[in-house]
Amino acid sequence: MIIQISWKNVWRNKARSLVIMSAITIGLFGGIFSYAVMLGGTMQRLDSAIKNETANLQLHNPAYLLEDDIKNSIENPQEYIQFIEQLPEVQGISDRLKSTAMISTAYGSSGVILNGVYPEKEIKTTRLFESITDGEYLLENDQIPIVIGDKLAKKLNADVGDKLILSAPSIDGEVAYGAYILKGIYDTQNDMFDGMQAFIKKGDLAELVGIEENTTSEIAISLFDTELSDEFTAKLSDKFLSKIENKSIVIRTWKEIDPLIGMMVDNMSYFGWLFVVIILIALIFGIINTMLMVVLERVREIGMLMAIGMNKIRVFAMIMWETVFLSITGGIIGMLFSLGFITYFKTYGMDFSMIAEGMNSLGFSSVIYPEAPLSFYFEVSIMIVITAILASIYPALKALKLHPAEAVRE
Amino acid sequence: MSIIKIENLHKTYNETQVPVHAVRGIDLEFQEGEFTAIVGPSGCGKTTFLNMVGGLDKPSEGTVIIEGKDIALLSSRQLIDYRLQNIGFVFQSYNLIPVLTAGENIAFIMELQGKSKKERTERVKDLLEQVGIGEKIDVRPGQLSGGQQQRVAVARALASKPRFILADEPTANLDSKATEELLDMMAEMNRKYNITFVFSTHDQRVINRAERLITLTDGQVTEDISIDR
Ligand SMILES: Nc1ncnc2c1ncn2[C@@H]1O[C@H](COP(=O)(O)OP(=O)(O)O)[C@@H](O)[C@H]1O
Ligand SMILES: [Mg+2]
């Protein structure tokens, strides 16, 4: 019956209880929802990085990471490609030749990273072709095609079908020029990427810089299951251990390739916790304050209960349950709100296009689909209960200090 | 053997450095089935005295012996349980838990005692009928008159089947009709079940009902008379 009394006591001062419950509701909603937006944004960013840019893992000549020169290419790339492409985990493998270049139109020019790729291999490895907003992606049969990002296209004032001039350092130290037809424009919503990366056929690039087509700066591999990235990398590292040891190859997962994203993904759940913990710490003072008022108001009643024979454990339990009910009612409403909003926006997306410029320049998409794992709600529930129990201790101890003779006399 | 034996009871409050001698050497005995009023003007020490008898407050000196047992020897935990099992309390006001109905208030003390649900349900109904408000079983205290609330309090005190009931000015907040009715009811319970009542008052109407009248003056017993009714 003590639990029943506690629950009913919550509703004795409706206005006050509703105020503190609203505070808990709003606080938790704020915490959970912002976390979900952050997590959603990060996961999308990760997804897009893996899909469009890094794939799951990449192989390089270690020297290339220090100096991204075309000379620092992978020795004997076919050895790796042939081994890797027959592994069952592998969805696609793309060997790329990369070079820095200047790209220009009559209107302007810009520095870019030129990716020489085999279109049909690249299509299996990254999904950049899905982000084409104008024109089409490269095809092997096209004559001197090039694909660039919208950011760069705008800067160059270039449209599909226009002729773009590339100049790149050739292998013998000269500057080589070539003209290419703009085949397609993509938009990954990551300004850094969209402004820097240009794609042409691997053969075209090899020809431009005067190198053998087999030359490979980078091997990108995509897996059917991203979760397997680390495991698969370990497997490859085992296989090519001697090559790694003599510094002829380095194998890195997307986390190592894009350490910022890797760190964000790894630490996101801590951010969520941090948010919620900070909010709960703020709320705990409100809850304590409310419960102290409750104890103060009911001095006589509590004294009477102690007088007629309610022991300290029960008095403590009565105050504690009331605190728990007060807190979890607000908590549950807060979580339901969060769940509702997150579910809605997970489907329809939150449009940040008002600040899209800023979002895109940080590499985030302008429409974010917030998400929070169910386990997070579960953890938050436990934290609310712990908060409530902690918040109840001080008021409950205050109640226990009451002396029945004095309390009933007041 | 007397049910309550008080020896040389003293209480000195010493809160503000100026000691207040609220009870100054009381020796009394109460027998089973007595219907006793403690009378005296406000401030004469009635509440202080009853609180010590009920184990709510510690004497500065002297002993309270209930059924041969010195209650000062009980730990505070044992004392709470002792009160729960042996003493019924009725206060001037704030006797009931406002969020519970009349019936639930009575059932609550039996639940604290660990009585079964069946026993509780039966007894609650019976007790409320005994005190004359059987129909108010599902009504909360806020919806009851002062007199009805005190009846529930008496029923609650009876519910725990105590050895005796201590009532500190139970009629202080009641009008004269309600006072009469409450006292009639208490007297009836006393007669019917031979339950011992010790109650305090400064109300003349209440005094007329008592079978034993103890007058306190400045913390001392100045008169102790039995009245045959
Ligand atoms: N907690 C206390 N501290 C100091 N003095 C008190 C306290 N309680 C009661 N008194 C004093 O003790 C005396 C007796 O009070 P009380 O027992 O309440 O008398 P009554 O119940 O007959 O009105 C009064 O003078 C009162 O002011
Ligand atoms: Mg008094």
**Beta-carbon separation of B81 and A12 below 8 A:** no
Q: A409: which chain B residues are within 8 Å (Cβ-Cβ)?
A: 47
Q: Which residues of B touch A305 (CB under 8 A)?
A: 97
Rounded average pLDDT over A327-344: 93
Instruction: For an interface test with A, give the residue of B97, B110, B160, B161 to mutate (most A CBs within 10 A).
Output: B97
pLDDT of residue B216: 95
Question: What tens-digit pLDDT sequence spans chain B (229 residues)?
Answer: 789 999 999 999 986 788 899 999 999 999 999 999 999 999 999 999 999 999 999 999 999 999 999 999 999 999 999 999 999 999 998 889 999 999 999 999 999 999 999 999 999 999 999 999 999 999 999 999 999 999 999 999 999 999 999 999 999 889 989 998 999 999 999 999 999 999 999 887 778 888 999 999 999 999 999 987 6
Chain A residues close to B100, C-beta within 8 Å: 1, 5, 8
Encoded tokens for B186: 């208490």
* pLDDT value for A227: 86
Distance A278 CA to ligand 2 centre (A): 49
Q: For residue B177, which phi and psi values (nearest 5 degrees)?
A: -65, -45
> Are the beta carbons of A162 and A179 closer than 8 angstroms?
no
List the alpha helices (DSSP H) in A67-176. 77-85, 119-125, 150-156
State whether the beta carbon of B46 lies less than 6 angstroms from ligand 1: yes
How many CB pairs lie under 8 A apart between chains A and B? Answer: 65
- Provide the mean pLDDT of chain A: 91
- A5 vs B97: CB contact, 8 Å cut-off? yes
Question: Does ligand 1 have an atom closer than 6 angstroms to the CB of B15?
Answer: yes
DSSP 8-class letter at B143: G
Residue type, B37: A
Q: Element (H or E) spanning B189, and its range? A: helix B176-193
Chain A residue closest in CA terms to B46: A409
- pLDDT digits 0-9 by tens, A339-398: 999 999 999 988 887 776 677 777 777 788 999 888 888 888 899 999 999 999 999 999
Query: Could you tell me which chain B residue has the CA closest to the CA of A11?
Result: B99
**The predicted structure's pLDDT at residue A356:** 65
Return the residue whose CA atom lies nearest to atom 12 of ligand 1: B22
Q: What is the DSSP letter of A74?
A: P
Q: Containing domain of residue B110, as a range?
A: 2-226
User: What number is the average pLDDT over the span A75-87?
Assistant: 93
- Please check whether residue B163 is in contact with residue B171, taking contact to mean a CB–CB distance below 8 angstroms: no
Residue A263 has pLDDT above 80, yes or no: yes
C-alpha–C-alpha distance, residues A4 and A19, integer Å: 22
Across the interface, which of A308, A312, A409 has its CB nearest the CB of B89? Answer: A308
pLDDT of residue B203: 80
- CA distance linking residue B180 with residue B177, whole number of Å: 5
- How high is the pLDDT of residue A410? 66
What pLDDT is recorded for position B94? 84
pLDDT computed for residue B15 by the predictor: 67
Using alpha carbons only, how large is chain A's radius of gyration in Å? 31
- Residue B16 Cβ contacting ligand 1 at under 6 Å: no
What are the CA-CA distances from residue B105 to residues B41, B93, B140, B149, B159 (Å)?
32, 14, 9, 11, 10
A333, A317 in Cβ contact below 8 A? no
Mean pLDDT, to the nearest integer, of A97-115? Answer: 94
Q: Report strand pairing: B164-168 vs B87-90.
A: parallel
Query: What is the B21 CA–ligand 1 centroid distance (Å)?
Result: 9
Ligand 1 contacts CB of residue B228 (under 6 A): no
**pLDDT confidence band for A262 (50 / 70 / 90):** confident
From chain A, the residues in CB contact with B85 under 8 A are: 309
Residues 6+ apart with CB under 8 A from B136: B102, B128, B144, B148, B152
Q: Which two tokens stand for residue A242?
A: 């001697």
pTM score, whole prediction: 0.81
Inspect the interface and report whether the beta carbons of A304 and B91 lie closer than 8 Å.
yes
The nearest alpha carbon in chain A to B117 belongs to: A1
Indicate which of A7, A10, A305, A308 best probes the interface with B, i.e. most B CBs within 10 Å of its own CB: A308
The domain tally of chain B equals 1
Q: Do A404 and B56 touch (CB under 8 A)?
A: yes
Candidate from A304, A309, A408 with C-beta closest to B84: A309
Do the Cβ atoms of A352 and A366 come closer than 8 Å? yes
Which CATH number is B184's domain given?
3.40.50.300
